[in-house]
Chains A and B, each alone.
Chain A
Amino acid sequence: MMQLPVLDETAVQIIATIVKFLVVLVGVLHIPPVMIWVERRVPALMQRRRGPNRVGFFKWRLWGLLQTLADAVKLIFKEESVPGSAYKGFFHLAPLIGLLPTLLFVSAIPFGPAIEIGGWKIPLSVIELDIGLLFILAVTGVGVYGVTLAGWASNGKFSLLGSLRASAQMISYEIPLGLSLIPLVLIYGSLNLQQLILAQSSVWKWGIFLSPISFLIFLICMFAETNRAPFDLSEGESELVAGFHTEYGSAKFALFFLGEYVAMFALSCLCSVLFFGGWQIPFVAHEQLVSLTGSVNIAALCGVMALLLKAAFFMWLYVWVRWTLPRFRYDQLMKIGWKFLLPLGLANVCVTALVLAALA
């Protein structure tokens, strides 16, 4: 391999980080259109109807895939309206504040093993951190501000109620979420996501097998953290019109959509990373793959595909659940969070610690 003499390690990493960030940003931007299409086609399939399938070029319909493009265009070109009583600055800022933490979240996910370009090892996560898991928890914590500010800045009853509900819910479920991660940290002994993935070297060491209860808690919290059905109380269209984004339209509304789907994607990725071996392909060790394909980079690409596939499953699960389960009542939601998940998570931590101590 040829060495580029003008660049030192730091510069290469900075450039790589910028490139990776752009790639992720662009990639992430493509999630909502696809997901919206999925959200409309999947229930159509489930309910034995057709769903949107008309929009296309001439006779290439592409299963209606272009419908969402049309929707996006419509949304962006719609007139923006701001309520007269809104707190203007925060009203405009809120969607961005909501989106930023989710983007940071995604950038902490290791999408694959390190690749080699020009002799430099470049990890496939935008920022690789020793405390990746803590970072993710911190970032999710900050994620509440977008919702809260949006509801407050709209200065309307529905918005405020929706945002209070949503933020209380997100804060409540952050605790069991964090608790569900502790057993994994105990088992694998690291907070670094890449290390966590490498520790799940074979299928039987996957998180879901070693700590199934953690998976259960994590799964429930996943739905609650993103305010998705059956925990979509914050929107609750039958009672609160649309919750915290009632007053939002046009591009800012699209930004909220983007934020929601990116958050779903990020959590799906995290779930795959923690419980399903991340980018590792089941039953095929990475070294085998490298020798099989003859290239580290192709093997890494395979890993990326594997992770995306796993994440896609969870994205689909989101849709599946949304069209299957009815919504909880608010008190039920809080009861599940505080009276079921929290004690269960604590017990899980204790039992895992005891078992590990006994084995050690």
Chain B
Amino acid sequence: MVEVWFFYFFAAIAVVASLGVILLRNPVAAAMLLVVTLCALAAEYVLLGAEFSAAIQVLVYAGAIVILFTFVIMMLNLGQEEVGQLAGFSKWALLLFMLGGAGVILIQRLSMGALPPGVPGGAASDNTYEVGMALFTKYLWPFELASLLILLALIASVVIARKPTFPSRDA
């Protein structure tokens, strides 16, 4: 039962922090809370027996992606957003949306009995090894394609973010 309590604990952290991400006006604070959310989720992954996923979650998400966000925030020197920056129509949208979401969850909750029973002790003994085996045998081609994709993204982001060499249309 300890695991379940740990799960609730980290889930609470994740939900609160992610609420902070979308509600705080300071983008750096939002980014930091995003890190907290990600780390809490990593802890959940450990609880779910996926150590490797937890590690790359922290390594890639917290260690690289959010750092990028922070960099951009710093580069553009985005301070506090002014008050009243929520999109005009969105109070209603938000309400409706949350209601809809809650409804879906409730319905989902009701229909949960149909889920197949879990495989007990399903977690692999050597999680990293198994993930590695799957990645490099069954998913080799997707893996290679993915690496190609990330190379393309690298080049594309350089091209997009580069200072334009032609005169701007407004200038």
Interface of A toward B, CB cutoff 8 Å:
87, 89-90, 129-131, 134-135, 137-142, 144-145, 148-149, 152, 160, 163-164, 167-168, 171, 174, 191
Chain A proximity of B62: nearest CB distance (Å): 5
9 A–B pairs (Cβ distance < 8 Å), ordered by A: A130-B51, A131-B55, A138-B56, A140-B63, A163-B74, A164-B75, A167-B67, A171-B64, A171-B67
Q: Which residue of A lies closest to B125 (CB)?
A: A130
Interface of B toward A, CB cutoff 8 Å:
26, 28-29, 32, 35, 39, 51-52, 55-56, 58-59, 62-64, 67, 70-71, 74-75, 126-128
> Provided the pairs A130-B51, A148-B70, A164-B71 are in contact, do residues A142 and B58 lie with their beta carbons within 8 angstroms?
yes
A134 to B52 Cα, complex, angstroms: 8
Chain B proximity of A240: nearest CB distance (Å): 16
Let me know if A144 and B52 touch, CB within 8 A.
Answer: no
Let me know if A134 and B74 touch, CB within 8 A.
Answer: no
Q: Which of A129, A141, A174 contacts B62 (CB 8 A)?
A: A141
Let me know if B35 and A145 touch, CB within 8 A.
Answer: yes
- The secondary structure that dominates the B interface is helix
Q: Which residue of B lies closest to A89 (CB)?
A: B29
Q: Which residues of A contact B28 (CB under 8 A)?
A: 87, 90, 149, 152
Closest 5 pairs (CB-CB, A-B): A141-B63, A138-B58, A134-B55, A138-B59, A131-B51
Q: Which residues of A contact B64 (CB under 8 A)?
A: 141, 171
Let me know if B74 and A164 touch, CB within 8 A.
Answer: yes
A313 to B155 Cα, complex, angstroms: 42
> Provided the pairs A134-B128, A138-B62 are in contact, do residues A145 and B74 lie with their beta carbons within 8 angstroms?
no
Q: Which residues of A contact B71 (CB under 8 A)?
A: 148, 164, 167-168
Q: Which residues of A contact B128 (CB under 8 A)?
A: 130-131, 134, 191
A130 to B50 Cα, complex, angstroms: 12
A191 to B70 Cα, complex, angstroms: 30
A81 to B102 Cα, complex, angstroms: 48
Chain A proximity of B137: nearest CB distance (Å): 15
Q: Which residues of A contact B55 (CB under 8 A)?
A: 131, 134-135, 137-138
Chain B proximity of A180: nearest CB distance (Å): 15
Let me know if A138 and B32 touch, CB within 8 A.
Answer: no
Chain A proximity of B144: nearest CB distance (Å): 15
Q: Which residues of B contact A140 (CB under 8 A)?
A: 63
Q: Which residues of B contact A90 (CB under 8 A)?
A: 28-29, 32
Chain A proximity of B104: nearest CB distance (Å): 34
Q: Which residues of B contact A144 (CB under 8 A)?
A: 63, 67
Q: Which residues of B contact A167 (CB under 8 A)?
A: 67, 71
